[in-house]
């Protein structure tokens, strides 16, 4: 049982692109903190990227099939698995769906809250792999970029790489999804720009006993 | 090859080391079944025996996650170390075997029995406490790990801080203490009362009262007793009375803390239980949830399952942070001065003891 579990781990970890290296915590003093909203203009448009990659993959497959035909070999067109570009692209789109990031960063940790999604959390003091209820996950500094990796069952792995412009005008989040059996990963670049969260009419406080309670102009509503 | 070797090492280290999940209980997989324990209560047949006072020092916390971002759990721990002793005090009060049962910031010199505890593990699903009870002579009454686990039944209704899902654990501690007390004769109890009083007197004036007690490897022996009309002893007794009043005030602070944070803590424990159990169930389900393996639909299901588990973790983190916000230190008035209940109560207690010693010296010249 122990050996089986160990093998599962080895396979899961091996499926992740090893692009990060262990480094001293935040030695470039990068600060991602703040409120960020999606810059649609600079971000990849999933459908366009999927269409582009689909056309590219199909052309590549056709060329390969043509070459094979000329050399008298039969090639099963299914090996090019062009349809998987669409599947992988749609999955990546769902994973990178966040339009607002609220980032709090301290010397020892960062919490990246994403709307309608779970927060990406990195403890700079404990940047190893961590076992989750479903898979394993880890974070690491890659020079001045912060990377999050998630390895899930059935060879599904997700990689988020955060980088910030020197003038703090934009954050780029490159989300790469890889699936075993599909030779090419799919990457979506989502660019976020800073914004000041407006003061709404309601001031809401979360408490355990009362859940979320809101007041209007300082009065209980 | 080196890369592969590295991966194997990483995987092995993670596998053996557990790779630090939010719930780090090493005995998680082998939790025993919860056992119902009835509280043994005092019977009138022992009414003629002297009642001993018992003090419970705020618990220590064994934390393995101090450097983690999950340190919001530390905030919960800082409340638990003050809250859980009060649950034990309430149980001991209900059992009815004791004189005054008080929660104190530290070991109480004035008390015949002192109970110390360490929170080894607490997460709403499981509670593990190390309990040490020592009498005034230094004899160990209890030195045991107590452990209880909850079930769905314990959380079947909305949580109330007056009903503790770990009540069986407190009942067991109380029963063990009353068992031990039962083996003490009237003579044993009188000895404890005298030793406790002389320890207190010795603290105020070692020169005067030190000779009545001798100590060998933590065990105290009574060498003799001062005369009952000894004026110095009478002064000590007066100061000791005021110490009791101070101890009662301190105890009231723990009681009000208990009332104030009880509902919040009960909810925290309730949600913590739900979230941990929810994630535990997730580990047992097929992440694809019936979708054909390898299909894109299956991949989406896997990611959705993962996302659910992560959102559970987020909720737990938000809960513990919220717990911190809702249980900020209490500012209260005690003996004419304003104090903060967290941390500084210890110092206040030290200051109080220093003032008492000063008072004794001023009155007696010793």
pLDDT (tens digit per residue) in B289-348: 666 666 788 888 889 888 887 887 777 677 666 655 655 554 444 445 554 545 445 665
Give the separation between CA A14 and CA A100, rounded to whole angstroms: 32
Lowest mean pLDDT segment, chosen from A98-102, B172-176, B285-289: B285-289
Task: With a cut of 90, say whether residue B95 has pLDDT above it.
Answer: yes
Could you tell me if residue B295 is inside a domain?
A: no
Residue B1 inside a domain? The answer is no
Q: Is the pLDDT of residue B350 over 70?
A: no
**Other residues' Cβ atoms within 10 Å of the Cβ of residue B300:** 18
Interface contact flag, B15 A6, Cβ < 8 Å: yes
Q: What is the mean pLDDT of chain B?
A: 76
CATH number at residue A121: 2.40.128.20
DSSP labels, B86-147: HHHHHHHHHHT--S-EEEESS--TT-SEEEEEEEEEESSSEEEEEEEEEETTS-EEEEEEEE
Number of domains within chain A? 1
Confirm whether B311 is domain-assigned.
no
Give CA–CA dist A126/B24, Å, rounded. Answer: 14
Say if residue A96's pLDDT is above 90: yes
Give a yes or no: residue B7 inside a domain. Answer: no
How far is it, in rounded angstroms, from Cα B61 to Cα B79?
A: 10
Residue from A89, A113, A133, A178 whose CB has the most chain B CBs within 10 Å, to mutate = A133
Please give the tally of structural domains in chain B.
1
- Chain A nearest-CA distance from B170, in A, is 25
Which region among A34-48, B50-64, B190-204 has the lowest average model confidence (pLDDT)? B50-64
CB-nearest partner of A134 from B267, B306, B314:
B306
pLDDT confidence band for B126 (50 / 70 / 90): confident
**Strand positions, DSSP E, chain B:** 54-57, 60-61, 101-104, 113-122, 126-135, 140-149, 213-216, 219-222, 331-334, 337-340
B222 neighbors B194 (Cβ within 8 angstroms):
yes
| Average pLDDT for B43-47 | 67
A59 vs B132 pLDDT, higher one: B132
pLDDT at A219 > cutoff 60: no
> A154 Cβ partners below 8 Å, 6+ apart?
A179, A180, B287, B288, B293, B294, B298, B299, B302
pLDDT at position B107, please? 87
pLDDT tens, residue by residue, A152-210: 988 999 999 999 999 999 999 999 999 987 778 999 999 999 998 866 666 666 666 66
Q: List A residues 124-153 in contact with B (Cβ-Cβ < 8 A).
A: 125-126, 128-136, 150, 152-153
Long-range contacts of A158-167 (CB under 8 A, 24+ apart): A158/A95, A158/B303, A159/A16, A159/A17, A159/A19, A159/A185, A160/A96, A160/A120, A161/A19, A162/A32, A162/A112, A164/A30, A164/A31, A164/A32
ipTM of the prediction:
0.81
Residue B278 or residue B171, greater confidence: B171
First-residue to last-residue Cα distance in chain A: 57
Average pLDDT over residues A114-132: 86
Residue B103 lies inside a defined structural domain of this protein: yes
Least confident of A136-140, B109-113, B268-272: B268-272
Q: Check residue B19 and give its pLDDT.
A: 34
Nearest chain B residue to A93, by CA = B300
**What residues make up the domain containing A104?**
2-44+98-220
Q: What is the largest CA-CA distance in chain A?
A: 81
Mean pLDDT of A29-44: 94
Q: Which has the higher per-residue pLDDT, B72 or A82?
A: A82
Q: At which residue do the structure tokens 């592969």 appear?
A: B4
B174 falls within a domain: yes
Regarding beta strands A156-164 and A145-152, do their DSSP bridges make them parallel or antiparallel, or are they unpaired?
antiparallel
pLDDT at B10 over 50: no
Of A5, A122, A153, the CB nearest to B287: A153
Question: Cα separation of B33 and B277, whole Å?
Answer: 15
Q: How far, rounded to the nearest angstrom, does the alpha carbon of residue A114 sit from its chain's CA centroid?
A: 11
Owning domain of residue B184: 46-269+330-364
Q: Taking 70 as the threshold, does the pLDDT of residue B79 lie above it?
A: yes
Mean pLDDT value of segment B78-99? 90
Residues 39-98 of A with CB under 8 A from B: 84, 87-88, 90-91, 94-95
User: Other CB atoms closer than 10 Å to residue A33's CB: what's the count?
Assistant: 14
**How many residue pairs bridge chain A and chain B with CB atoms within 8 Å of each other?**
131
Of the candidates B12, B268, B303, which has its C-beta nearest A95's C-beta?
B303
Share of chain B above pLDDT 90, in %: 28
Tens digit of each residue's pLDDT (9 = 90 or more) over B215-250: 888 899 999 999 888 888 888 888 888 778 777 777
Q: Kindly state whether residue A61 falls inside one of the protein's structural domains.
A: no
pLDDT of residue B320: 61
Range of weakest confidence among A178-182, B13-17, B257-261: B13-17
Which strand (E) or helix (H) includes residue A158?
strand A156-164
Whether B11 sits inside 8 A of A9 (CB atoms) is yes
Within a domain: B8: no
The owner of tokens 């075997």 is: B97
- Say yes or no to pLDDT of A128 above 50: yes
- Binary contact (A152, B306; C-beta < 8 A): yes
Q: Which residue has the higher pLDDT, B362 or A60?
A: A60
Is residue B24 assigned to a domain? no
């Amino acid at each position: 049982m122990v050996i089986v579990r160990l093998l599962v781990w080895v396979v899961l970890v091996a499926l992740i692109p090893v692009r990060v290296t262990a480094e001293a915590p935040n030695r470039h003093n990068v600060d991602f903190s703040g409120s960020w909203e999606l810059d649609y203009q600079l971000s990849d448009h999933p459908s366009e990227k999927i269409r582009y990659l689909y056309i590219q993959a199909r052309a590549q497959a056709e060329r390969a099939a043509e070459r094979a035909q000329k050399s008298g070999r039969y090639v099963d067109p299914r090996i090019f698995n062009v349809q998987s570009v669409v599947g992988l692209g749609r999955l990546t789109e769902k994973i990178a769906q966040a339009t607002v990031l609220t980032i709090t960063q301290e010397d020892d940790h960062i919490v990246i809250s994403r709307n309608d999604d779970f927060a990406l959390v990195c403890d700079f003091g404990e940047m190893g792999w961590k076992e989750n209820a479903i898979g394993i996950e880890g974070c690491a500094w890659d020079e001045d970029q912060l990377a999050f990796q998630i390895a899930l069952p059935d060879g599904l792995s997700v990689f988020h790489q955060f980088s910030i412009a020197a003038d703090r005008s934009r954050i780029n989040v490159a989300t790469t999804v890889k699936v075993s059996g599909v030779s090419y990963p799919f990457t979506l670049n989502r660019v976020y720009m800073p914004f000041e969260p407006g003061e709404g009419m309601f001031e809401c406080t979360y408490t355990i006993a009362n859940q979320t309670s809101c007041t209007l102009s300082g009065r209980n509503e | 090859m080196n890369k592969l070797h590295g991966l194997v090492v990483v995987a092995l280290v993670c596998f053996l080391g557990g790779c630090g999940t939010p719930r780090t209980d090493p005995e998680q997989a082998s939790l025993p079944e919860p056992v119902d324990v009835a509280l043994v209560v005092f019977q009138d047949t022992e009414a003629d025996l002297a009642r001993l006072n018992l003090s419970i020092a705020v618990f220590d916390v064994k934390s393995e996650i101090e450097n983690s971002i999950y340190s919001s759990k530390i905030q919960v721990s800082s409340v638990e170390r003050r809250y859980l002793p009060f649950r034990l005090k309430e149980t001991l009060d209900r059992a009815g075997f004791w004189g005054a049962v008080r929660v104190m910031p530290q070991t109480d010199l004035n008390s015949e029995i002192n109970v110390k505890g360490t929170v080894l593990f607490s997460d709403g699903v499981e509670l593990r406490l190390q309990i040490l009870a020592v009498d005034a002579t230094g004899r160990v009454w209890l030195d045991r790990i107590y452990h209880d686990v909850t079930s769905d039944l314990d959380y079947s209704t909305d949580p109330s801080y007056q009903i503790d899902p770990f009540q069986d654990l407190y009942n067991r501690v109380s029963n063990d203490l009353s068992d031990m007390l039962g083996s003490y004769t009237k003579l044993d109890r009188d000895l404890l009362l005298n030793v406790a009083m002389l320890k207190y007197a010795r603290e105020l004036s070692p020169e005067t009262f030190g000779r009545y007690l001798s100590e060998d490897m933590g065990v105290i022996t009574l060498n003799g007793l001062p005369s009952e009309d000894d004026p110095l002893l009478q002064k000590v007794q007066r100061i000791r009375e005021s110490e009791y009043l101070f101890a009662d005030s301190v105890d009231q602070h723990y009681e009000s803390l208990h009332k104030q944070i009880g509902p919040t803590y009960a909810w925290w424990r309730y949600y913590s239980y739900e979230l941990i159990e929810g994630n535990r169930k997730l580990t047992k389900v097929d992440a694809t949830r019936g979708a054909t393996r390898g299909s894109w639909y299956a991949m989406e299901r896997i990611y959705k399952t993962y996302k659910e588990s992560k959102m559970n973790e987020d909720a737990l983190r938000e809960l513990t942070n919220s717990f911190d916000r809702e249980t900020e230190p209490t500012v209260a008035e005690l003996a004419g001065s304003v104090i903060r209940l967290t941390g500084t109560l210890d110092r206040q207690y030290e200051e109080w003891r220093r003032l008492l010693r000063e008072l004794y010296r001023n009155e007696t010249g010793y």
